[in-house]
Structure 1
Amino acid sequence: MVKPMNKETTFAPIILFVYNRPEHTRRTVTSLLKNPQAEMSDLFVFSDAAKDKSVEETVRQVREYIRQISGFKTVTIYERDSNWGLANSVIDGVTRICNEFGKVVVLEDDLQVSPHFLAYMNTGLDKYEHDEQVMQIAGYMFPVDIQSNEDALFLPLTSSWGWATWQNSWEKFDKTASSFNTIKNNPDLKKQFNLDGRYPYFKMLEAQKKAKVDSWAIRWYLSVFIKNGLVLYPRKSLVENSGFDGSGVNCVVSGFDDTPIDATFEVKTFPANSVTSPFFDELIKKLPKPKFSIKAFLSRLIKPFKV
């Protein structure tokens, strides 16, 4: 039985990471404010500093906008004095807020959310708080049709597009990817890590170890994978990524990952048991297999994983 939200519910704080896209940031905040729970939620905005002079003006515009944000319980802004990069900023921000509040909802400036996003996030955080196997709540769902009777399901795969976690889960974050050799030396584990060989996630992990990419998300996936953790996903996506319009620093335009939101869809039923959904294998098979080089693949997924 899912515990309903009531007046005593403590809503999770929301982190929003922003950089140099004022219009994207505005759309993200506007979509959040359509959630009734927004006015009861604390918002923390982490604004990274410009990497070079070419983005100083757009960073300034973003900061001008975020200083005017209202409609949340509180708004706290952290303006970086130097460019941290998204990976370092996310690791620092999530750690800081988790340590203070014990849980957090995380968004970036290219995501728009459903009006039911925060209800789902907070209910999921509340329901599975004491289940150590459940390590993350995901708001995004891949563009596949899942014929499930439940509105949410568990997958052994993390998400970086609109998500939530708890302090006790985030404490397991493997910042140095110390489990790299465990997977490298086990062909079966490597195949499993690569979603039955369909996606080269291990290559991305390898690139991280060689400092060719700086990705918090591939390290987070490793952290959850090595602990046999599970992630709760909605049956239909509650998050839409607008970062594939060419505005991102390393964005490659693609319609695949841009799953439209069905604003009428609400997650009302949750899994009673924390086990991998029987639809997981079907979902993997429905995902298109990449038909490009690992270099192109890394470039294409730079937004989900160079974070």
Structure 2
Amino acid sequence: MLAPVLIFVYARPEHTRKTIESLASNCLASATDVFIFSDAPKNDKANEKVMLVRDYIDTLSDKKMFRSVKIIKSEFNKGLANSVISGVNEIIKLNRQVIVLEDDLVTSPDFLSYMNDALNFYETDKKIWSISGYTFDLDFPDNYKSEVYLSYRGSSWGWATWKDRWDSVDWQVSDYMIFKKEKSLRDKFNRGGRDMSAMLDAQMDGKIDSWAIRWCYSQFKSDMFTVYPKVSRVKNIGLDGSGTHSGISSRYDTSLNTSTKKCEFDHPELNDIIIRSFKNKFGTRFEYFVIWNKKIIKKMLRI
């Protein structure tokens, strides 16, 4: 049985179309159940584009792209974090594993086979928290032979996990006050990127609304890893200023896998060179707050 795919959409009709059509080009698409969660508009400005997205996804059942398509339309605006948490909660109750996409992710033709094979291979490995379909273009050591690598940090750009991992997350981050004051814990959390502790601070201060940083924090608390491919199966097309939570950037551009060869999974050791290269893709705490403050200023100028 293949893992169901959950797709979270909002107000980007063209991005949504590209996301769904690329997924439909996968060889396992016709055997895959797809659940599309459509959030309601946050304001009148978003209403037209949300309706365009909904008009498009309403046509999918007749197109027979997938084994089945179920569309869940929210009657009120939940925001991305609550949409993802509640949506995954709903579907994972009946499935031991899920694959998750958002509306700005183009996938390679082998994305579904890569994700399903990885889910099956690592399910009983209790050191693995999640599977990522996305990866940066990294420079790997010449002697590194595995087709995947491990990281301390999960990815929200095309990912998969299992029910037992998902159910263990403390979405309230009930021990945050201890973490906030403990430098050794903050430094350890930042092994996945120098921005991580600052992002959790911003989440708990109500400055951002992120499911992903809380997901990563629970991964850190569990001392587990995310499996990444050496060659990406996902490309983010949403860093063009069109998204609610993203600006304009080419920093995370990556090469999409074109090989027809199936990925061979193994149990690689954590590699310090790769971890350092991965970590360097993220900004510092200072950079994070500079970017955040710029966004706040821009929002204030639009009021």
TM over 0.5: yes
Q: Secondary structure at the match of 2:290?
A: helix
Does the CA contact (< 8 Å) of 1:252 and 1:299 recur in 2?
no
Q: Deviation at 1:288?
A: 6.0
Match of residue 89, structure 2, among 86, 90, 95: 95
Q: Give 1:75-224 correspondences, 5 Å limit.
A: 75-147=69-141, 148-195=144-191, 199-224=194-219
Deviation at 1:230, TM superposition (A): 1.1
**Residues 266, 232 of structure 1: CA spacing in aligned structure 2 closer, same or farther, 3 A cutoff?**
farther
Matched letter for residue 121 of structure 1: M
Q: How has the CA–CA distance of structure 1 residues 50 and 242 changed in structure 2, closer, same or farther, with 3 Å as cutoff? A: same
- Aligned twin of 2:223: 228
The match for 1:305 is none
CA distance change for structure 1 residues 280 and 186 in 2, over 3 Å: closer, same or farther?
farther
Provide the aligned length of Structure 1 versus Structure 2: 291
- Describe how 1:36-47 pairs up with structure 2 within 5 A: 36-47=27-38
> Retained in 1: the 8 A contact 2:180–2:201?
no
Contact kept, 8 Å, 2:194 with 2:282, in 1: the verdict is no
Q: Structure 1 pair 64/75, CA: closer, same or farther in 2 (3 Å)?
A: same
**Which residue pairs with 1:61 in the alignment?**
52
1:14 maps to 2:33: no
Q: Which runs of 5+ in 2 are unaligned?
A: 297-303
Distance, in Å, in 1 between the alignment partners of 2:130 and 2:119 is 8
Matched residue SS, 1:136: strand
Give the letter for the 2:202 counterpart.
A
**Mapped partners of 1:157, 1:67: distance in 2:** 35
Per mean C-alpha deviation after superposition, the further-off stretch among 182-191 and 30-39 is 182-191
After TM superposition, give the deviation of residue 289 of structure 1 in Å.
Answer: 4.5
TM-score calculated relative to the size of structure 2: 0.89
User: Given the superposition, is the C-alpha separation of residues 266 and 53 from structure 1 closer, same or farther in structure 2, using an over 3 Å criterion?
Assistant: farther
| CA drift at 1:199 | 1.7
User: What is the CA-CA distance between 1:267 and the residue it aligns to?
Assistant: 5.1
Do the aligned residues in 2 keep the contact of 1:153 with 1:271 (CA within 8 Å)? Answer: no
1:245 match: secondary structure: coil
Residues 138 and 278, structure 2, Cα contact 8 Å, conserved in 1: no
**Which runs of 5 or more structure 1 residues have no equivalent in the other structure?**
1-9, 303-307
Could you report, residue by residue, the CA deviation over 1:212-252 in whole angstroms, capped at 9, with x for unpaired residues? 11110000000001100111100111110011111112421
Q: Which amino acid aligns with 1:229?
A: M
RMSD of aligned Cα (Å): 2.2
Normalised by the length of structure 1, the TM-score is 0.88
**Percent same amino acid among aligned pairs?**
38
Whether 1:295 and 2:281 are equivalent positions in the alignment is no
Runs of 4+ in 1 over 6 A off after TM superposition: 299-302
Q: Which of 219-228 and 262-271 deviates more?
A: 262-271
Q: Distance in 2 between matches of 1:77 and 1:284?
A: 36
Deviates more, 1:256-265 or 1:168-177: 256-265
Query: Is 2:119–2:161's contact at 8 Å kept on the other side of the alignment?
Result: yes
Whether the aligned pair in 2 keeps the contact of 1:244 and 1:258 (CA below 8 Å) is no
Q: State the distance in 1 between where 2:145 and 2:242 align.
A: 38
